[in-house]
């Protein structure tokens, strides 16, 4: 009889709606569907997920063929924990990319510190892991440069049932009044550059006064940047800018259904899940060309090479008013979306895992 292989995913925190948590659960389902044992361990667990996730202090090596998959997106003591299990499990690092610390020097010094520590830990881990999985070639290049040898790229997302959850009616009623809705989906954070989306909207609002800007995503831990954004909105005397805060999946689906254009001015994305979600919901994308964004978009959407806000506002206007252009962009996005089909993503993941399963 062969020993049962157990995949144990380790993650600092797990909560509903979080990008890393979504990737953890997607892998968990995929692994179980293949008949393998799969367990999730986290340091901090959202109360709503306690029945599905084990606390980290309950982690015990099974003694069999464990594969430990460490989701890495921040410096934490979990790195030491993972390193201590090196001899007891095959180690895989799932690198979700580290945001450069300088974005948080003033808004969130503690986070800046954790990101710097993360950068050091990432270097230490290079010698310990048998395989590193990345969200994008952009992240893979980062790892290769610091000495990782076996690096593969697997998209962290595929379209599953959660996007089919009926959209929240209250959101549809509130914002589905025929006004043009510009959308950006991400947590409020200096690297996401919500301020620049506001500036685009400042110009667009002059072209089309019947419009609003919707920011979907939680407001950040320290809220310093969020409050700075509120100041900016007041300074520009802008009306119709809304911040949703953290949302449920049904609410998120509703915001996507309502959106006319997704505008991203983000300056650091390890992948950009919201880009794929926009493709899925048929929302044309205008995104600043940086980090992994052009790779995720492929030949889809509209890329912005330089932040000239009146020009970007005109692109948004063209996408709203020129049906031919809009449909052509949507077609390019539908084509790209095929690359994120569940079968393709899973095949790539299992393909990269196969050598470890065989040994």
Partner 1 sequence: MAEGKAREIIEIPSPTIDADEVLGALEENLKGRAHLYSSLKRERPYLPTYDALFVPEPSVVSDALGYHLWQVSRIELLTKPQLIPSSLPLIGGLVDSFKLLFHNLVVFYLNTLAAKQAASNASLNFALRLLAWEITQLKDQMSHLPERGQKGDD
Q: Which chain residues interact with partner 1 by CB under 8 A?
A: 105-107, 190, 195, 199, 202-203, 206-207, 225, 228, 231-232, 235-236, 289, 294, 297-306, 308-312, 314-315, 317-318, 322, 325, 328-329, 331-332
CA 309, 312, 315 angle in degrees (round to 5)?
155
Nearer to partner 1, 272 or 301 (CB): 301
Closest CA to 139 of 96, 100, 103: 96
Q: In whole angstroms, how close is the CB of 332 to partner 1 at the nearest point? A: 4
Nearer to partner 1, 143 or 315 (CB): 315
Give CA–CA dist 96/138, Å, rounded. 11
Give CA–CA dist 70/121, Å, rounded. 12
Nearer to partner 1, 325 or 350 (CB): 325
Query: Would you tell me how many other CB atoms lie within 10 Å of the CB of residue 271?
Result: 25
Nearer to partner 1, 305 or 359 (CB): 305
Give CA–CA dist 147/111, Å, rounded. 25
Q: In whole angstroms, how close is the CB of 124 to partner 1 at the nearest point? A: 30
Nearer to partner 1, 152 or 236 (CB): 236
Place of tokens 């995929």: 30
CA 328, 332, 335 angle in degrees (round to 5)?
135
Do residues 10 and 69 make contact, with C-beta atoms less than 8 angstroms apart?
yes
Q: How many CA atoms lie within 13 A of 167 on its CB side?
A: 17
What are the backbone dihedrals phi and psi of residue 256, each rounded to the nearest 5 degrees, phi first?
-65, -40
Closest CA to 123 of 69, 71, 78, 79: 79
Q: In whole angstroms, how close is the CB of 269 to partner 1 at the nearest point? A: 16
Q: In whole angstroms, how close is the CB of 323 to partner 1 at the nearest point? A: 13
Q: In whole angstroms, how close is the CB of 127 to partner 1 at the nearest point? A: 35
Q: In whole angstroms, how close is the CB of 326 to partner 1 at the nearest point? A: 11
In sequence order, which residues have a C-beta less than 8 Å from that of residue 105 and are 6 or more positions away?
A: 112
Do residues 49 and 14 make contact, with C-beta atoms less than 8 angstroms apart?
yes
Give the tokens for residue 177.
Answer: 């009044």
Nearer to partner 1, 204 or 256 (CB): 204
Give CA–CA dist 103/192, Å, rounded. 9
Nearer to partner 1, 43 or 208 (CB): 208
Q: In whole angstroms, how close is the CB of 236 to partner 1 at the nearest point? A: 7
Nearer to partner 1, 179 or 227 (CB): 227
Q: In whole angstroms, how close is the CB of 49 to partner 1 at the nearest point? A: 25
């Amino acid at each position: 009889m062969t020993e049962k292989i157990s995949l144990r995913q380790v993650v600092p925190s797990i909560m509903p709606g979080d990008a890393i948590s979504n990737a953890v659960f997607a892998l968990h389902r995929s692994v179980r569907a293949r008949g393998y044992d799969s367990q999730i361990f986290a340091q901090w667990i959202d109360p709503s997920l306690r029945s599905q996730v084990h606390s980290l202090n309950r982690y015990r090596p099974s003694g069999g063929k464990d594969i430990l998959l460490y989701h890495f997106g921040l410096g934490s003591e979990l790195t030491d924990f993972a390193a201590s299990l090196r001899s007891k499990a095959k180690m895989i690092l799932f690198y979700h990319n580290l945001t450069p610390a300088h974005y948080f020097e003033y808004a969130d010094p503690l986070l800046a510190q954790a990101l710097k520590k993360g950068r050091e830990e990432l270097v230490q881990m290079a010698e310990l892991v048998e395989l590193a999985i990345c969200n994008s070639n952009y992240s893979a290049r980062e790892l290769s440069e610091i000495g990782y040898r076996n690096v593969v790229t697997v998209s962290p997302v595929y379209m599953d049932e959660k996007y089919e959850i009926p959209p929240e009616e209250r959101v549809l009623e509130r914002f589905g009044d025929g006004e043009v809705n510009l959308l950006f989906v991400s947590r409020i954070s200096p690297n996401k550059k919500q301020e620049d989306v506001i500036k685009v909207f400042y110009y667009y609002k002059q072209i089309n006064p019947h419009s609003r800007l919707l920011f979907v995503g939680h407001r950040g831990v320290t809220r310093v940047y969020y409050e700075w954004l509120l100041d900016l909105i007041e300074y520009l005397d802008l009306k119709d800018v809304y911040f949703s805060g953290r949302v449920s999946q049904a609410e998120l689906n509703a915001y996507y259904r309502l959106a006319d254009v997704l505008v991203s001015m983000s300056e650091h994305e390890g992948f950009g899940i919201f880009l794929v979600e926009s493709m899925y919901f048929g929302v044309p994308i205008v995104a600043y060309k940086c980090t992994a964004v052009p790779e995720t978009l492929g030949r889809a959407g509209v890329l912005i090479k330089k932040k000239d806000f009146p020009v970007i506002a005109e692109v948004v206007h063209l996408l709203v008013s020129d049906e031919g252009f809009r449909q052509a962009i949507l077609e390019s996005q539908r084509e790209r979306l095929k690359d994120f089909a569940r079968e393709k993503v899973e095949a790539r993941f299992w393909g990269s895992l196969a050598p470890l399963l065989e040994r």
